[in-house]
Amino acid sequence: MYFVDFEKLKFNRTGNYRTKELSLSLAASDTVIQVKEKTREALEYFFEETNIETLFDISLDNIVFEDLEEADIFFTYAVNIISAIFLDSICLKKPRARERRLDVPVKLKELASSLSLIKHLVNMTSYYDRFNLMIHWTAEINGVEHEYHYTLVPQGENENDN
């Protein structure tokens, strides 16, 4: 499993990590504000300061859809909001003890997130310096289950690890 290390600005690969799981209940009809509020509420007491590599595994409750395209749009929408709230919530809002960076290091541009959020974590301390975020969901569409997965740190061959 690969993890991003915001202290050393690189990816680490390890089999020794802990997992923190969270189940999030959303409805297909939830507005952006409702998804933000539910996510912030679920994450409110979820973090603690540690130096252990941690995988955050967020699962979305099953929602029934009649159309595959609607489900695809919903998951993309949910991932964008949840990952942004997650990355903002994990940040302690105190500058790191190094020179402030005006850009995102090339190594970290592979992360599946907004570059402005990544730059913010590069420059600020956080509850966790080494972590990965996964969001998964099983959608039922016309009686058939479809699996959706998002991972912040790419898990394939990674030229930037260690």
Whether 5 contacts 14, CB under 8 Å: no
Whether 137 contacts 148, CB under 8 Å: yes
pLDDT at 162 over 90: no
Sign of the torsion angle spanned by Cα atoms 20, 49, 111, 33:
positive
129: Cα within 13 Å, side-chain hemisphere = 14
Q: Quote the radius of gyration of the chain (alpha carbons, Å).
A: 16
Placement of tokens 């190094």 in the chain: 98
Whether 87 contacts 58, CB under 8 Å: no
pLDDT of residue 142: 84
Instruction: Identify which has the larger pLDDT, 30 or 64.
Output: 30
pLDDT tens-digit series, residues 113-150: 988 999 999 999 999 999 999 999 988 888 888 999 99
Helix (H, G, I), strand (E, B) or coil at 122: helix
Whether 128 contacts 50, CB under 8 Å: yes
pLDDT band at 59 (very low <50, low <70, confident <90, very high): very high
pLDDT of residue 157: 55
Question: Packing angle between helix 68-90 and helix 115-123, nearest 10 degrees?
Answer: 20
pTM of the prediction?
0.88
Domain spans in the chain, listed from the N-terminal domain onward? 2-151
Instruction: Give the residue from 78, 93, 10 showing the smallest Cα distance to 39.
Output: 78
Indicate the pairing of strand 91-95 with strand 64-65. Answer: unpaired
Q: Which amino acid is at 112?
A: A
